[in-house]
Amino acid sequence: MQFKIQLEEASKRFQYEWIFKNLNLSLVSGDSLAVTGGNGSGKSTLLKCISGSIPLTSGKINYSKENQEIPESNWFSSLSIAAPYMELPEEFTLIELLNFHFKFKNCLSGLSIDQIISILYLDQHSEKQISQYSSGMKQRVKLGIALFSDVDLIFLDEPTSNLDKKGIQWYQDLIEKYRYNRITLICSNEPREYEFCNQKINIEDYK
């Protein structure tokens, strides 16, 4: 079933500074978009607007599935996000966190909690509290939760932050396998994070 996001003249301003203006964009299931631009240029702000976390100043964003519009109050059920500014509940163990998360979002068909833990290479750490994890381990958990949720939209902001060379290869393999038939949006300045994307915009072109 085809999912679609449509942006019409989307614009966001903080006080007197335009973060982006008059952005028109259309994405459907299977599309992958890279949003590039310098640090502080507004990539994360655009992601937050498209996900419904913060409102536009002007313009319109529309979600639809099979040509049926989805109310903004229900957007959250269609998407998953992994981003540096999103915190994991550190008092949970990994097993507790995954069980908690997948009460609210369905897991991709055919995957169990144990399989997810194995794919994350965290079998030996599943009973530890998240507070004991390294920054790289936490990043793998964030990416796993985003990619293994059965949603139509995947939003990834700086997806390889805190990952070493082996972790970056793990991300590239994972995104290649699990992004299909969904809309993927990557905010990044690192080509290795978005080289698979079939669309690309520079947020600085919309000032």
Q: Which amino acid appears at position 164 of this protein?
A: D
Does residue 6 contact residue 25 with C-beta atoms inside 8 Å?
Answer: yes
Give the residues of the chain that fall short of pLDDT 70.
none
pLDDT of residue 94: 98
Confidence (pTM): 0.94
Q: Which two tokens stand for residue 12?
A: 């966001």
pLDDT of residue 174: 96
Count the residues in the chain.
207
Dist CA 102 CA 117 (whole Å): 13
Dist CA 178 CA 120 (whole Å): 14
pLDDT of residue 1: 79
Second CATH level (architecture) for the domain 3-206 = 3-Layer(aba) Sandwich (3.40)
User: Which residues, in sequence order, are bridge partners of residue 202?
Assistant: 36
